[in-house]
Structures are given as C-alpha cells and as structure tokens.
Amino acid sequence: MSSKFRFPPAWRALHGAATLVAFCLAFACLPAAAQTAAPAGIQGPVYTQALGIGLESWPYPYPVHFMPVEEQGQALRMAYMDVAPSATPNGRTALLFHGKNFDSSYWRLTIEALAGAGYRVVVPDQIGFNKSSKPEIDYSFDVLAANTARLLDSLHVSDVDLIGHSTGGMLAVRFARTFPSRIRRLVLEDPIGLEDYRLSIPPQTTRTLFEAERNQTVEQYRAFIKRYFPVLPASQYEPFVEWRARIGLSGEFDRYAMAVALTYQMIYRQPVRYEYRFLEMPMLMMVGGADRTTPLRAYAPPEVAARMGDFPVLARDACAEARHCRLVVFPGLGHVPHLEAPDAFNQDLLAFLRE
C-alpha cells in the first residue's frame, strides 16, 4: 500500500465563485420551492411545500428509470440513471453508490467526468433511499447488493468500475466481496464502516431511531449536514436540507422515518470492516482529512465518541489490509470530496481508472 497527502489544486477556489458554479452544475440550482424568509433566530430558509418521500419532483441531472423489484413479499421499484458516454466509448461501465443522506443528483460532476472519459455510468438509488421505494423490511447489504446485480444483468453489464461514497462505500465493500468477478477497480470515497460501531455504541431500538428521525427539526438537520462540509458555505449544501425538510411535510413522512431507522440498523448491525482483507481487486480510497463522520455517534458515551471517526487513520488501517490499495487524503476536506474539490477528486479518480 502507498499513501499520498496533498493539497488539491486551486485550493482557494473552494471559497470563491468557481465552487459556486460547480455546485450549481451539480444541483441545477433551481429556485427553492415555496420557501419563505427565516424568522428571527432561525438560520436558514423555511420550507412550506411538501415533497413526496420518493423525491418525485426533485431534479436529477439525467432521466430516471425504474426496475421492478420483489423483496420480502413486497412489489417495489428501484430507481436508476443510465448515462451514455459523451466521448468515444471505452467499453467500460462505472457504477456509483450514493451515501445515506445524499440524493444521487450530487454525482452530477462525477458523472460528467466519467462520461467525458468514455464511460457508461449507472447510478442506482438503493431500495429505501431517494427515488426508490421505501418499504418496511429487514434491510441488509446483501439484499441491496443482490438488487444491484440484478439491475446490472437487466442492463447487460457484466463488470464495472465501482465507486461508493459513505454508506455506499459500505455497500461497495459487500458488493465487491459478493461479486468479485464483476469488479475491475474499486474506489471508496469516505466510506463509513471503517470501524465496528457495535464495539463503541450501545444498541438502540428501531423505535428509538424512528422517533429521533421523526422529531428532528429542520435546524437540527441543517446542523447535522453542515458537519459534512467544513469548507463549503451554507448555501451550497442547503439542497440536502431542502429535500429532507420538505419530505418532513409529506403525509407519508412516518414511512420515510421508519426507512431511515431501519437502514441505520443495517449500518450498525452489519459491519464490513473485517472484509477489507479479502478485497483483491485494485482499490483506491479517497478521504477528507477533516472527516469525522460516525453514524449514531450521539448514542456513544462522550469520551468514546470523541475518539471515533478519524477517517485518515481508519482509512489507512483498512487500506493496509487490502491486497492492492492506495490512499489519498485531502487535507481540510470533509465527508464529500467530490463536491468540496471536484476537479482534484475527478483527476485522481480518472487517473486510477486508467492505470
């Protein structure tokens, strides 16, 4: 294993107009629906128009398709984007796995970079997330991996270069372990699951997690999202807050909150940290040097929580166990380098895929 620590190019642009333009490209920068000025004491817009829990009217950068899925006796739909190369096709397909609190529109700049390099790009929304169905089922990474394999089969895709972010990184590890012959190269961006949360956080009931999600205010959620982005101004991560705030006004919000609770249980109960040693494909890990993301951290004793989530250290240790792994740490960045420093992220991503 080799590691490199460097400052991404055009670092100062993160605080200027260039980043704003990049973020607008990623999220389309449409006017916020039916928002009002914040009352005194409220830090941010107040949203008044409901959004369905399937993000039905939320803009994605490419057409969204649906694949029927039957799971645990329920007829479901799995959403996905299938983007053709915008340059001479190279015959390869990139598969992108989203994080837990991020809709797949946040992949726009990464999709553009990959399509511009000749890749077909497939971007699923996993069952329980974003534009896909949100059933009350026993969620597992094995189920999500199997659904994704069926999606690839339906698209006649045999093997992929897999990029997973955050919770999508956990799923990417399980997918690579389950279907190793389908993975050409594996890229993990700030993957959670670099530690076994059961060793530090007491188990919580699903009802506790449901109530926590159901009772969370918009301001609390805005503060939660802010921790992901130490170098971005609030206006540039507000879209994540907007769709969650508007879902909170939906008549089906309780169903959404239950899916959130159940997928947190999946993350907690199904560690993948012990599987890194079995990963034999070429692998790149890219993490923000300031990332300290820890799911369910609030339930850990304070002295324990303070030691959790050190991504540069955790990623170094996990990468060392894989067969062919290289680590890139972006100093000062948080949980989503592909939004915080898109040019540097895409440069490293494409260089690795071309090796």
Q: What is the mean pLDDT of residues 285-292?
A: 98
Write the DSSP assignment of 293-311 as a string of letters: --TTGGGS-HHHHTTS--H
How far is residue 334's CA from residue 287's CA, in Å, rounded to a whole number?
8
- Alpha-carbon distance of 196 to 181, in angstroms, equals 27
For range 134-156, the mean pLDDT: 98
What is the average per-residue pLDDT within 55-63? 98
Residue pLDDT, tens place only, 82-123: 999 999 999 999 999 999 999 999 999 999 999 999 999 999
- Do residues 243 and 51 lie in contact, with contact meaning Cβ atoms separated by under 8 Å? yes
- pLDDT of amino acid 30: 43
Neighbours of 36 (CB within 10 A): 10
Mean pLDDT of the chain: 91
Nearest CA among 37, 50, 58 for reference residue 239: 58
Q: What percent of the chain has pLDDT over 70?
A: 88
First to last CA, the chain: 15
Beta bridge partners of 82: 122
Tally of CA atoms within 13 A in the half-sphere of 42 that contains its CB: 13
Tokens of 110: 């990464």
Domains and CATH numbers, the chain: 2-354 (3.40.50.1820)
Give the pairing of strands 35-36 and 120-124: unpaired
pLDDT at 44: 87
What tens digit of pLDDT does each residue of 153-212 get? Answer: 999 999 999 999 999 999 999 999 999 999 999 999 999 999 999 999 999 999 999 999
pLDDT score at 35: 55
295-313 pLDDT per residue, tens = 999 999 999 999 999 999 9
Per-residue pLDDT tens for 146-166? Answer: 999 999 999 999 999 999 999
The span from the CA of 160 to the CA of 120, in Å, is 10
Would you list the DSSP string of 98-145? --TT--GGGGHHHHHHHHHTT-EEEEEPPTTSTTS----S---HHHHH
Nearest in space to 110 (alpha carbons), one of 125, 128, 92, 98: 98
Let me know the angle formed at the C-alpha of 307 by 306 and 311, rounded to the nearest 5 degrees: 115
